[in-house]
A and B are shown apart, each in its own frame.
Chain A
Amino acid sequence: MTRYIAFRLLQAVGVLWAAYTVSFLVLYALPGDPASLLAGPDATDVSPEQLDAIRAQYGLDRPLIVQYFDQLLHLLRGDLGTSISSGRPVTDIIGEAIGPTAQIAATGLALALVFGAGLAIAATYTRHRALGQFLLALPPLGVAIPAFWFALLLLQWFSFAIPIFPAMGDKGPTSIVLPALTLALPTGATIAQLLSKSLVTTLREPYIDTAWAKGAGRVRIHFAHALRNAALPALTMAGLLIGQLLAGTVVTETVFSRPGIGRVTASAVGAQDIPVVQGVVVFAAVVFVLANLLVDLIYPLLDPRIRVGRSPLTPRGITPKTELTGARP
């Protein structure tokens, strides 16, 4: 088990390093002059001397490899550099944005889980065939609806037509509702789609028949036998959904004019504020890696087959059996 955790931690560090390196290469090393980017998009009349000054200020005149390791060292000390447009430390900018984003993201995730899982369970639990089919058709629809359009509909209905929730800002708990719903829709739809598919497959497994043959009822079959097995593939996706949520904040926070990581990202990209963009990339990578690490640590608790040290990739229920076509025992 410690080996498993150590391996996962090592992987997490590797992913973080890779994310940082790729973003550095994209932003600094690819053709294109970071200095003229730093000078601003409209600065067509910047003199070469001014560009040199900018290079010197940001250390861009040093060899690329030196810049890379210099920045990496700063990053290890928790220093993400300074914003070009505001002159404030990037860590401060991101630190302030985490709170508001965490509020809507956490609420959105909770809503997505409750409604997504609820829909999946309802769709497979009902004895009413037509109702089940109808419920199963909803998640693809949810995935297909563009977030900005759904956000505008919510604003139209619940801020203007019936003014229950504020249309913008981050004042009070009511301001969380509409952005959280916007974030929850695609995430919840994905959860519902995965879990319902997984439940349908699981309910056809022979061990479910065994449970029926014991005289177990529908509630027991669903909740004591099928759900835990069906949740395993859905859990694997949960780590990826965190990434989806974070990406969703860009549109959501812009539409609802809320402060947060999404807004920081959008404005930094707009202003070509390279240090902030890179800070956001590193932050997103950290969140993503932590979420997946958490999933990897929860997985063995739910699936005993992983505890004995088998890789999660080992097909389940299959004992190693030599067949001429099969893998080595």
Chain B
Amino acid sequence: MSIDLAHTPATAARAAEPLLDIRHLAVRYRTNDGHIDAVRDVSLTIGRGEKVAIVGESGSGKSTTAHAIVHLLPNAAETHADSILFDGIDLATASRAQLRRVRGARIGLVPQDPIVSLNPVKKIGAQVAETLIVHGLADRKSAAYRAVDALEKAGLPEPELRAQQYPHELSGGMRQRVLIAIAIIASPELIIADEPTSALDVTVQRQILDHIDLLAAETGTSVLLITHDLGVAADRADRIVVMNQGEIVEQGTPAEVLGSPTHAYTRALIAAAPSLNAAGQVERVLEVLDPDVAARVFGGRAGEPFVARSRLPGAADATLAPAVLSARNLVKDFALPRASGGGTQRAVDDVSFDIPRGQTFALVGESGSGKSTTARLVLRLAEATSGTIELDGRDITRASGAELRGLRRRIQLVHQNPYASLNPRLTVEQIVADPLVAFGLGSRADRRRRAAELVDVVALPRTALGRRASELSGGQRQRVAIARALALNPDLLVLDEPVSALDVSIQAQILGLLSSLQSSLGLSYLFISHDLAVVRQIAHRVGVMRLGELVETGDVEQVFSASAHPYTRALLDAIPGAHASGAPVIGR
């Protein structure tokens, strides 16, 4: 069938056919150690005007499936399919020229990461107009006008101005709108949106997804939405397809999939999805550490793990203040580069909070809210412009030298990205023992023993000790990072988005581990997150930050169920899955 025929008015029979019909798709990646079957056997249809969501965790093959449709896989991928029929054209056997005519013009792709998906040296307008130009759908001049229209349709304010700007002058959310404009400008019949909002803040995420919905509804365009978030899929799709390890394990309407999941994996995914459980407290079985283990591993003094202390870990000490750390009126100004006019920018503005002993205080906010800067101030990695920080009643705001180094033993940090925060060339044992080495604590044998015990505590196998961080999965790496943070018996852990780089099921495991450690050892956490659903699960008290200010502080229940602050309400409303149709899962 030739492509030209495909543009003739669809016959009645044709209209009944699905727009896209994938039969037995398999994709295999060649690697140095053999091959990986990313997609094993996927058959999938998308009807005209239908919205289908593929849900799965990383490695499930959902993105690979999406990219295989338009042959945009890396060279190392081998694709086999009986057929990929798109409106009568078999994309599996189509020539390069045929594929080119489909890409952009008839199938639009919204890629995953807006920050890196636009050419940095070309103007926005030219990049949007390019779709029309490569398909000969408009000349240069009218393409430029239509690009401005498309940017406006994609919901970008001041589209004429934006068209003259370069990508680096736009925020992530604005760039994602540009990518949507690129995908819709040629009025395609199918839009493939590959995790279009996972790099964005929840409020922006909601706007973008709403907009895709609106555009699709206006034009009758079919949408294939790829997402790791069951909540997003439940909100947006007519049909949900759940993928696991390269295979479709379940599909159906959101009500069917969420209401009566038939496959064990779907049930696990639902249970783990924080966004679906945001409305109610998750019943998590805490695997409390054996008291003997807790006493043996964490029986030492804070910052001196090899020196025994009288008090058992976890036992409340009435002589201590209820707050392990108090921040009062913290302000942080950053000098702006002289090239952009100089002056200062206030990143943290008069922020005060207490971290309750043995509990979790969470700072929530969108990017740029100043939550990470606040954490840096608490860790004394940055100097506060004004305000005070007290640890156990002692002012540490200006501590320096030996006092500051002593402080490092008491407050430890777990980073956001476990892929970047562990030295890939060190073994797990070296990484976990590193803080002990840094402070010259214990003999070599002591440190080895302690590393082995800590690895047990975070539920990694002992065999992991000899392996390098680069050989571990994301969840395993984050466990190593937690073990490292615990090595010195700290009082306070600062957890900077500790689960946001992980899959939902792994997220649930790590959050469970953190809760267990807290209840066994009486640790206090400062938990930084943009994800309200995650915060709901772990925090006792919550502070909501916006543009450097702490707009609201309160107990987690009160903030989530009865917040009066409009910004907090907006954040809560933006959580995907809040209006999911599968009511039974909520409040499990």
Select one of B118, B169, B417, B494 contacting A207, CB under 8 A: B118
Q: Which residues of A contact B416 (CB under 8 A)?
A: 323-324
A328 at the interface (CB under 8 A from B): yes
B405 at the interface (CB under 8 A from A): no
Select one of B103, B171, B337 contacting A214, CB under 8 A: B103
B382 at the interface (CB under 8 A from A): yes
Please determine whether A305 and B168 come into contact, CB atoms closer than 8 angstroms.
yes
Q: Which residues of A contact B101 (CB under 8 A)?
A: 215
Please determine whether A319 and B115 come into contact, CB atoms closer than 8 angstroms.
yes
Interface-located stretch among B37-45, B245-253, B373-381, B384-392: B373-381
Please determine whether B339 and A308 come into contact, CB atoms closer than 8 angstroms.
yes
A310 at the interface (CB under 8 A from B): yes
A57 at the interface (CB under 8 A from B): no
Please determine whether A302 and B121 come into contact, CB atoms closer than 8 angstroms.
yes
B334 at the interface (CB under 8 A from A): yes
Select one of B112, B117, B179, B379 contacting A324, CB under 8 A: B379
Number of interface residues of B (CB under 8 A): 59
Q: Which residues of B contact A228 (CB under 8 A)?
A: 121
B438 at the interface (CB under 8 A from A): no
A207/B103 contact (C-beta < 8 A), A215-B135, A329-B373 known: no
B478 to chain A, nearest CB (A): 15
B524 at the interface (CB under 8 A from A): no
- Give B60-95 interface residues, CB cut-off 8 Å to A: 70, 72, 74
Please determine whether B72 and A329 come into contact, CB atoms closer than 8 angstroms.
no
Q: Which residues of B contact A321 (CB under 8 A)?
A: 367
Please determine whether A217 and B118 come into contact, CB atoms closer than 8 angstroms.
no
Chain A positions 209 through 221: 1 when the CB is less than 8 Å from some CB of chain B, otherwise 0: 1111111110010
Looking at A204, A210, A229, A316, the one whose CB has the most chain B CB atoms below 10 A away is A210
- Give B343-390 interface residues, CB cut-off 8 Å to A: 345, 347, 367-368, 370, 372-373, 375-376, 379, 381-382
A interface, by DSSP: helix, strand, loop or mixed?
loop
Give the CA-CA distance A212 to B339 in the complex, in Å.
36
Q: Which residues of A contact B130 (CB under 8 A)?
A: 211, 214, 216
Give the CA-CA distance A322 to B347 in the complex, in Å.
10
In the assembled complex, 22 residue pairs joining A and B whose CB atoms fall closer than 8 Å, in A order, are A205-B116, A206-B113, A207-B119, A207-B120, A209-B117, A214-B104, A215-B104, A217-B100, A302-B121, A303-B121, A304-B120, A305-B168, A308-B340, A309-B339, A316-B120, A319-B115, A322-B373, A323-B417, A323-B496, A324-B375, A324-B379, A325-B420
Residues of chain A touching chain B, judged by Cβ–Cβ distance below 8 Å, are 3, 204-207, 209-217, 220, 225, 228-229, 302-305, 308-310, 316-319, 321-325, 328-329
Residues of chain B touching chain A, judged by Cβ–Cβ distance below 8 Å, are 70, 72, 74, 100-105, 108-109, 111-113, 115-122, 127, 130-131, 134-135, 166, 168-169, 171-172, 179, 182-183, 334, 337, 339-340, 345, 347, 367-368, 370, 372-373, 375-376, 379, 381-382, 413, 415-417, 420-421, 494, 496
Taking A225-B122, A316-B168 as known contacts, 15 extra A-B pairs with beta carbons closer than 8 A to each other, sorted by chain A number, are A206-B116, A207-B117, A210-B118, A210-B127, A211-B130, A213-B72, A220-B134, A303-B120, A309-B340, A317-B168, A319-B115, A319-B171, A323-B415, A323-B496, A324-B376
